[in-house]
Amino acid sequence: MGCGSSQTESRAPAPQTSETPRAVENNNKQKEEVKKEAAVSEEDIKQQKFREEVLASHNKYRAKHGAESLTQAADLDLIAQNWADHLVKNDIFEHSSTEYGENLWGGGPNATGKEVTEAHYSEIKHYNFANGGFSMETGHFTQVVWKGSKELGTGYARNNNGMSVVCCNYRPAGNMQGSFATQVSPP
């Protein structure tokens, strides 16, 4: 090398072989958020499938009685879900004070939408089509087939003991006195 010249070495930056503690923490948080989103999505899918099964079962029975098919209403789903969650959280089983028709069901942890609807519909065996009218032992059945009801919302919750609670809300509400003869037809 001559006088006045210099040699400079250029080195590439050393690769990082470990993440900083903050980066690791952020990465772990992101992974947990993705897991939570996936879990919520999976639960949402299960809830929607359950709702669809309840709706299909209702409509099968309604067709037997000359009632139009119900449609699923997202706002009623939310109301029903909130009530089912409330019942489970507070370990109670009672009707809400909603303006909508309401059927409740409580039972085992692996309930299907079909089983819940069948339980309500099974009250048909106690219904007197000749006289009609409301009865505590047939109110679930008459709400299922009530011709004037057009929309359905369903909520499903499970408590820590594995027991299930299902809430179905109907709009407009059924079981109106003086209307049974026109609203509840024999199969």
* Model pLDDT for residues 108-139, shown as the tens digit of each residue: 988 899 999 999 999 999 999 999 999 999 99
Predicted TM-score of the model (pTM): 0.78
* CATH T-level assignment (fold) for domain 42-183: Pathogenesis-related Protein p14a (3.40.33)
Hey, where are the domains in the chain? Answer: 42-183
Per-residue pLDDT tens over the stretch 35-64: 555 556 788 899 999 999 999 999 999 999
Contact 67, 147 (CB under 8 A): yes
